[in-house]
C-alpha cells in the first residue's frame, strides 16, 4: 500500500469518504456530520441536550498511542538520509522533514498542555498539526509549484510588514529610502496568493480541513468557548459561578487526543511519500492501522 493509499484508507475506514464506482473519492456529508456532533457536546449541554454514555477506549489508551507517535517521527527523521540541499526533489524532501519536525514539536506541546489540564489550549495548538499536514499535501500535489507559492506568500507578507513599518515608524532618510527601494524591487510579489489553510485545503481537496476549523472555534471567544468557564446554578436562587480552570470530561479529552493524532499520522504518511517510499514502511503502516482501530472502537 502506498502512503497516499494509506492516507485515503484512514478516511475510508472511518467513514469520512466513500469510493465511487470510478474510484474517485467523494465527501460523505452525513457521516461527517455524525463525526462533528461529538465536537458540539459542550454546546449542546448548554441548551439542555443530554448525551448518551458510550463505552470507548479510555484516556490512558489514547495517551499511550499519542506518546508512541514521537518515536516513530524521530525514526523517520533518523532514516531519511537527506543531508544536503541539492536538486529540487531534495529541497522538497527537506521542507517535508522540517514540517515533520514542527509537527513533533506541536504534538509534544499539546500533550504537555493536556497533562496540565489545559484542554482548550491543547486543542488550539493542535491546529498547527493540521496546518502542517496541509503543507505536506501541498508538496505532494504541487511539488515545485507549491514551493514557489510558499515563497510568494512569504514575500507578500514581508511587503505588508514593511509598508506597515513605513506608516507607523519614523525612519532616518537613508533607511526609509532603503525600505522604499526594497518595496520597488519586490513589487512583482504583490500579486502572490496568500497560503491560508483554507486556500491550501481547497487546492489539494483535503477534507481534514473541517477538523482544523473545529479546533479554530476554541481559539476565539464565542458563546461555545466562553460557556466552558461558567458553572450553571444547581439550586434555585443561585446565579452560578465562573470557573477559571474548568474541568473536562474524559470523553472530551479522548476526542482531543483522537483529533490531535490524526494530522500527525497523516504527516508521517505524507513525508514517507515525499522521501520516495513506493510502499508505506511496515512500522508506519502499523501506526496507521492502530489509529484506525482505536478510532473505530472509540465511536466518536
In angstroms, the Cα distances linking 300 to 33, 94, 108, 132, 199 are: 11, 35, 23, 24, 28
pLDDT(249) > 90: no
Q: Could you report the per-residue pLDDT of 28-37, keeping only the tens digit for each?
A: 322 333 343 3
Across the chain, the runs of DSSP E, i.e. the strands, are 17-19, 25-27, 230-231, 241-242
Please give the pLDDT value at position 300. Answer: 60
Residue 115 has pLDDT above 90, yes or no: yes
Question: For the segment 214-244, what is each residue's pLDDT rounded down to a tens digit?
Answer: 899 888 888 888 888 888 877 666 677 888 8
Domain count, the chain: 1
| Assigned C-alpha cell, 32 | 461527517
Residue 260's pLDDT band (boundaries 50, 70, 90)? Answer: very high
Which pLDDT score is estimated for 238?
67
| Distance from C-alpha of 91 to C-alpha of 148, rounded to nearest angstrom | 12
User: Comparing 6-10, 60-64, 96-100, 186-190, which segment has the lowest mean pLDDT?
Assistant: 6-10
What does the pLDDT average to over 172-200? Answer: 84
Predicted confidence at residue 176, as pLDDT, reads: 80
| C-alpha span between 147 and 32 (Å, rounded) | 31
Residue 88 is predicted with a pLDDT of 86
pLDDT at 179 over 90: no
Q: What is the mean pLDDT of residues 277-283?
A: 89
Among residues 143, 266, 144, the alpha carbon closest in space to that of 209 is found at: 266
The answer to whether residue 175 scores a pLDDT higher than 70 is yes
Could you list the residue range(s) of the whole structural domain that residue 209 is in? 3-298
Helix (H, G, I), strand (E, B) or coil at 171: coil
Distance (Å, rounded) from C-alpha 130 to C-alpha 215? 10
Amino acid at each position: 500500500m502506498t502512503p497516499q493509499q494509506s492516507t485515503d484508507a484512514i478516511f475510508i475506514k472511518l467513514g469520512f469518504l466513500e469510493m465511487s464506482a470510478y474510484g474517485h473519492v467523494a465527501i460523505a456529508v452525513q457521516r461527517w456530520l455524525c463525526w462533528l456532533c461529538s465536537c458540539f457536546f459542550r454546546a449542546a449541554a448548554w441548551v439542555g441536550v443530554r448525551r448518551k454514555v458510550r463505552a470507548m477506549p479510555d484516556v490512558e489508551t489514547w495517551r499511550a498511542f499519542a506518546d508512541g507517535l514521537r518515536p516513530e517521527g524521530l525514526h523517520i527523521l533518523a532514516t531519511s538520509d537527506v543531508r544536503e540541499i541539492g536538486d529540487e526533489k531534495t529541497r522538497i524532501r527537506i521542507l517535508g522533514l522540517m514540517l515533520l519536525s514542527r509537527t513533533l514539536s506541536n504534538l509534544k506541546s499539546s500533550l504537555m498542555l493536556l497533562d496540565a489540564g489545559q484542554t482548550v489550549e491543547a486543542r488550539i495548538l493542535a491546529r498547527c498539526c493540521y496546518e502542517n499536514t496541509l503543507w505536506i499535501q501541498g508538496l505532494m500535489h504541487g511539488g515545485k509549484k507549491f514551493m514557489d507559492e510558499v515563497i510568494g506568500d512569504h514575500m507578500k507578507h514581508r511587503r505588508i510588514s514593511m509598508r506597515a513599518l513605513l506608516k507607523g515608524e519614523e525612519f532616518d532618510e537613508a533607511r526609509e529610502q532603503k525600505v522604499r527601494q526594497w518595496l520597488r524591487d519586490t513589487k512583482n510579489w504583490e500579486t502572490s496568493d496568500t497560503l491560508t489553510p483554507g486556500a491550501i485545503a481547497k487546492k489539494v481537496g483535503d477534507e481534514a480541513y473541517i477538523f482544523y476549523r473545529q479546533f479554530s472555534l476554541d481559539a476565539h471567544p464565542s458563546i461555545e468557548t466562553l460557556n466552558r468557564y461558567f458553572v450553571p446554578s444547581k439550586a434555585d436562587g443561585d446565579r452560578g459561578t465562573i470557573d477559571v480552570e474548568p474541568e473536562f470530561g474524559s470523553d472530551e479529552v479522548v476526542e482531543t487526543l483522537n483529533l490531535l493524532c490524526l494530522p500527525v499520522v497523516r504527516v508521517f504518511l505524507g513525508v514517507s511519500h515525499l522521501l520516495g517510499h513506493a510502499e508505506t514502511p511496515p512500522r508506519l503502516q502499523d501506526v496507521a492501522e492502530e489509529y484506525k482501530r482505536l478510532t473505530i472502537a472509540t465511536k466518536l
